[in-house]
Structure 1
Amino acid sequence: MSDRFRRWWANNWASLIISIGLAIAIWVVATEDADSIEVRTLPSRVPISGVEAPAGLIIVNEPTSTTEITLRAQESTWQSLSAEDILATIDLTGFEPGVHQVPVTVEILGQGSRRVAVVAWNPTQVRVVLEQEETREVPIQVGLQGQPPLGFTLGEYSTDPPSVTLQGPQSLVELVSEVRGEVNVDDVRSEVREEIQLVALDSEGNPVEDVAITPNRAVVTVPITQDARFKVISIVPSPIGRVEDGYRLVQIEADPASVTVQGDPDVIDRLEGSIRLTVDISGLSDTIFFTNTISLPPGVTPIETETVRIRVQVEPQIASQSINIPIEVVNLAEGFEAIISPEQLEIIIEGPVPTLDDFNPETDIRAFIDLTDFPVGTATITPEVEVLLDDLSIISIFPVDIEVEILETTDETSQ
């Protein structure tokens, strides 16, 4: 048997190998016909990497950051293709300052045995504008807004740090005329110490964008001192007497609260820091205004005014009062009677003392229950209470609920 097989193999091996090869070729062709090749554009644009300026240069425009890629691949391959499989780059190595059209290169990543080809991409070039990067140190300027009051002097300001570093495109850094911040000193009477935001400005005072300021904030100190010929004196109203019974003094204030005076430095130095103005509040029952004139030693005069307006605010004292009032029954249907328990409420009211003094429990307050459409039987009802004076309010009501029994009345004359 083995001899016969050897003889058969010797006569037919070449034909067998040719047959196997033909079968494989037919299978490959059939497979390729079933998995057709298609040209498509990726649905997502591919990011362009490598947009980095060479050392010492800076990109001053906004280059296109993505590109649209068209590929050729078999239909089965398209099912797994995405933008992550494509690398689009530009290379700025060795470029000088100026305007450049930089070619975009496209590469297929990790394709392995997949047959994928790049057909086209758009854009194929990216416009990049390069400028020399410049660094410059400039002092900080401070704009002082407003003025201290008369008698106070501005000293020379200082900043910490005294200067900052500018960094950016040469054309923009050269536009910067100053780095500036603002401080408000209007009507300020003592030293100002404040952190301010810094802004780069051109020669016309316009902000210069895209220039980095390091640091971008600074602490400004502005000395403000008082001239020896001037002094600020507080006005202190001093009440005497008592307001009317049932009222209280809420507030007493002067307008202006202080005055600036001037005179010989020796006399000014001996002046007290405040002037006390006496105000008689005896019998007051309402807010009232007084006008006073301040008294100053010879040689000392006020800068603005010597007249002070005093406002005395008086309000009624607030107190509370407990009262017992009967409960009225209203809207009880004819032929019925109501038995209520308890028959009166204990109520605490609060308000101004003068109003409480005039309060009449019989006419100025009312408690009642409304029995409209209530059937025969018992019920728990919350009484309603009305206070007829606007200045008074109810603090508590006891009890909150009352028991009500509704009975049908009998006509004794008919029995």
Structure 2
Amino acid sequence: MMTRLRSIVQHNLPAKIAALIVAVVLWLYVMNDQNPAIDGSYTVPVTIENAPNGYLMNAADDTVTIRVRGSRSLFVSADASDFHARVNLSDFIEGDKLYAVETVIPYGFELVSVSPDKIDVNLDRMVQKTFKAALTVGGSPASGFTVDKVTQENEAVTVEGPRSLVNQVAHIAGHINLSGQSSDYTATVPLFALNSDGREVAGITLTPSATEISVKLVRGLTRKVVEVQAHPQSDLAPNLKLEGVTVEPARIEIAGTEDVVSKITSIGTEEFSLAQVRETEKRQVKLVLPAGVTAADSNVTVEIKVGAMQ
């Protein structure tokens, strides 16, 4: 029996082997022709992993295009939800950094490319900083009236937001309009964060965002317009020189009894430090008003101009 079986197998063996090889080649040809390897692309969202707490995050791209190669049958059964892209921030730094895009693709596919293969992510630390709110007064009260006193409920204001924006804040300001007022009154004054150029800084939060004020008006006082003199301290950094200090407004209207006001020729500011000045800047400072003397606005803006020491 075994001898007969062996005889059948060995009979015309070369032809049988050749036929088997031809069959395999034909099968491979047919499979490759009917199910060839092709390329395809999928655009997928990028998942951010290990994002640190307490930072504002901004990624330059939120999607990537994954290009893969595989047989036609693989593409028939796959869709974009089977492909994943992620960025790992476990080794983050504050500021801008390029992070590599990691991908997960289904079995059987070959990864050809990822575009972009790195994503620029900016991390900005959320911080808080406290400022003293300074109110400016505009307009003139009714004829015969002048400002005796302005009371501000909240002077301390907390600024919260990304470090890069909070660092732009130079001062907190609000505006009181006295036009036509003839009696004491209260009002809610919105507060604004301003940079050194007097422009509002957006993207931050102020607490409180407004302050209650009370204005007391009096009649029968003498008014007079006098110059304002700035009084900077002598603590500027040794590598800088003070090129000048200008005051805005340069002249203000004061009010008080005639015997007091008649003796006043100028009003000075509080002394202000120059220790933190690194470049030309603007800031608000308070006026030093003699007893019994009032001004519509007890704050002025000083521009401190500095240059490098030669």
TM-score by length of 1: 0.42
Indicate which of 86, 90, 93 corresponds to 2:90. 93
Indicate which of 105, 126, 146 corresponds to 1:133. 126
Indicate which of 46, 49, 62 corresponds to 1:48. 46
Corresponding residue for residue 62 of structure 2: 65
Indicate which of 138, 148, 152 corresponds to 2:145. 152
For the residue of structure 1 that corresponds to 2:81, the secondary structure is helix
Residues in 2 aligned to 1:141 and 1:51: alpha-carbon distance in whole angstroms: 43
Residues in 2 aligned to 1:131 and 1:156: alpha-carbon distance in whole angstroms: 39
How many Å apart are 1:202 and its aligned residue?
Answer: 1.4
For the residue of structure 2 that corresponds to 1:119, the secondary structure is strand
Structure index of larger Rg: 1
Change (3 A) 1:152 1:28: farther
Residues in 2 aligned to 1:53 and 1:104: alpha-carbon distance in whole angstroms: 15
Could you tell me whether the CA contact under 8 Å between 1:152 and 1:224 is conserved in 2?
Answer: no
- Relative contact order, higher structure (CA 8 A, sep 6+): 2
For the residue of structure 2 that corresponds to 1:175, the secondary structure is coil
Change (3 A) 1:51 1:135: farther
How many Å apart are 1:68 and its aligned residue?
Answer: 2.0
Which one-letter code corresponds to 1:86 in the other structure?
F
Could you tell me whether the CA contact under 8 Å between 1:91 and 1:102 is conserved in 2?
Answer: yes
Residues in 2 aligned to 1:68 and 1:150: alpha-carbon distance in whole angstroms: 72
Which one-letter code corresponds to 1:227 in the other structure?
R
For the residue of structure 1 that corresponds to 2:90, the secondary structure is coil
Indicate which of 96, 115, 118 corresponds to 1:122. 115
Residues in 1 aligned to 2:160 and 2:189: alpha-carbon distance in whole angstroms: 20
Residues in 1 aligned to 2:146 and 2:109: alpha-carbon distance in whole angstroms: 80
How many Å apart are 1:98 and its aligned residue?
Answer: 4.3
Residues in 2 aligned to 1:165 and 1:80: alpha-carbon distance in whole angstroms: 56
Residue 213 (structure 2) pairs with residue 221 (structure 1): yes
How many Å apart are 1:226 and its aligned residue?
Answer: 3.7
Q: Within 5 Å, which residues of 2 pair with 1:92-241?
A: 92-108=89-105, 111=106, 115-154=108-147, 155-159=149-153, 161-215=154-208, 217-227=209-219
For the residue of structure 2 that corresponds to 1:149, the secondary structure is coil
Could you tell me whether the CA contact under 8 Å between 1:54 and 1:94 is conserved in 2?
Answer: no
Shifted more, 195-204 versus 50-59: the winner is 50-59
Residues in 2 aligned to 1:83 and 1:140: alpha-carbon distance in whole angstroms: 53
Residues in 2 aligned to 1:207 and 1:68: alpha-carbon distance in whole angstroms: 39
Could you tell me whether the CA contact under 8 Å between 1:185 and 1:192 is conserved in 2?
Answer: no
Count of residues in correspondence between the two structures: 209
How many Å apart are 1:24 and its aligned residue?
Answer: 10
For the residue of structure 2 that corresponds to 1:166, the secondary structure is strand
Unaligned runs of 5+ in 1: 1-6, 16-20, 231-415
Could you tell me whether the CA contact under 8 Å between 1:193 and 1:219 is conserved in 2?
Answer: no
For the residue of structure 1 that corresponds to 2:217, the secondary structure is strand
Unaligned runs of 5+ in 2: 10-19, 223-310
Which one-letter code corresponds to 1:157 in the other structure?
T
For the residue of structure 2 that corresponds to 1:50, the secondary structure is strand
Residues in 1 aligned to 2:155 and 2:213: alpha-carbon distance in whole angstroms: 11
Shifted more, 197-206 versus 221-230: the winner is 221-230
Could you tell me whether the CA contact under 8 Å between 1:50 and 1:89 is conserved in 2?
Answer: yes
For the residue of structure 2 that corresponds to 1:172, the secondary structure is helix
What does the per-residue CA deviation read over 1:44-88, in whole Å, with 9 as the maximum and x for residues that have no partner?
x322221775234444x6522222221113223334544333221
Which one-letter code corresponds to 1:152 in the other structure?
F
What does the per-residue CA deviation read over 1:79-124, in whole Å, with 9 as the maximum and x for residues that have no partner?
454433322111111323344221111112xx4xx62232101111
Corresponding residue for residue 35 of structure 1: 35
- Runs of 4+ residues over 6 Å off in structure 1: 21-29
Residues in 2 aligned to 1:51 and 1:182: alpha-carbon distance in whole angstroms: 45
Shifted more, 188-197 versus 33-42: the winner is 188-197
For the residue of structure 1 that corresponds to 2:196, the secondary structure is coil
For the residue of structure 2 that corresponds to 1:148, the secondary structure is coil
Could you tell me whether the CA contact under 8 Å between 1:178 and 1:201 is conserved in 2?
Answer: yes
Residues in 2 aligned to 1:227 and 1:185: alpha-carbon distance in whole angstroms: 14
What does the per-residue CA deviation read over 1:151-177, in whole Å, with 9 as the maximum and x for residues that have no partner?
333322313x54332223334322211
TM-score by length of 2: 0.55
How many Å apart are 1:138 and its aligned residue?
Answer: 1.9
Residues in 2 aligned to 1:62 and 1:196: alpha-carbon distance in whole angstroms: 37
Residues in 2 aligned to 1:76 and 1:69: alpha-carbon distance in whole angstroms: 18
Residues in 1 aligned to 2:77 and 2:184: alpha-carbon distance in whole angstroms: 70
Q: Within 5 Å, which residues of 2 pair with 1:178-327?
A: 178-215=171-208, 217-227=209-219
For the residue of structure 2 that corresponds to 1:69, the secondary structure is strand
Residues in 2 aligned to 1:31 and 1:197: alpha-carbon distance in whole angstroms: 75
Corresponding residue for residue 306 of structure 1: none
Change (3 A) 1:184 1:28: farther
Residues in 2 aligned to 1:32 and 1:158: alpha-carbon distance in whole angstroms: 83
